[in-house]
């Protein structure tokens, strides 16, 4: 039979891996957002020099891409924070379970 502490340690490991995975995804999404806003910055510079219709059309398309990239980055950060909350919950649960087990052992020794 697995001890309650062992189960909680396993949960913590899973939650840590989930958090790290979501954090990595969030970083990738933020990097994509930065790429898109750099593209938009470059296009703004070129538009300032010439107001070609194709550049204006490209700007409109890129604005949507920037907005989507920003939304995706925020979603990614949100998911990582959600996983982080589970991780924090596990920290407290492990401490509680350890203390309960120690108390049971100490009571048996009396």
Q: Taking the chain, what is the end-to-end CA distance rounded to the nearest angstrom?
A: 25
At 49 the pLDDT is 77
- Sign of the torsion angle spanned by Cα atoms 66, 71, 72, 74: positive
User: 33 or 46: whose pLDDT is higher?
Assistant: 33
Confidence tier at 90 by pLDDT (50, 70, 90) = very high
> pLDDT at residue 2 above 90?
no
Tell me 109's DSSP state: T
> pLDDT at residue 46 above 80?
yes
> pLDDT at residue 85 above 70?
yes
pTM, two decimals, is 0.77
| Burial degree of 32 (CB within 10 A; 0-12, 13-18, 19+) | middle
- The rounded distance, in Å, linking the Cα atoms of 59 and 47 is 9
At 31 the pLDDT is 97
**Contact by Cβ (8 Å): 80, 28:** no
**Contact by Cβ (8 Å): 22, 87:** no
- The rounded distance, in Å, linking the Cα atoms of 87 and 9 is 11
């Amino acid at each position: 039979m697995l001890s309650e502490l062992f189960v909680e340690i396993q949960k913590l490991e899973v939650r840590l891996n989930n958090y790290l995975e979501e954090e990595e995804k969030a970083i990738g999404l933020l990097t994509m957002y930065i790429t898109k806003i750099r593209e938009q910055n470059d296009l703004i510079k070129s538009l300032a020099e010439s107001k070609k219709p194709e550049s204006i059309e490209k700007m409109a398309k890129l604005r949507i891409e920037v907005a989507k990239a920003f939304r995706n980055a925020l979603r990614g950060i949100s998911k990582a924070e959600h996983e982080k909350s589970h991780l924090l919950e596990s920290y407290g649960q492990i401490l509680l379970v350890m203390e309960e087990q120690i108390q049971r052992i100490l009571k048996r020794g009396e």
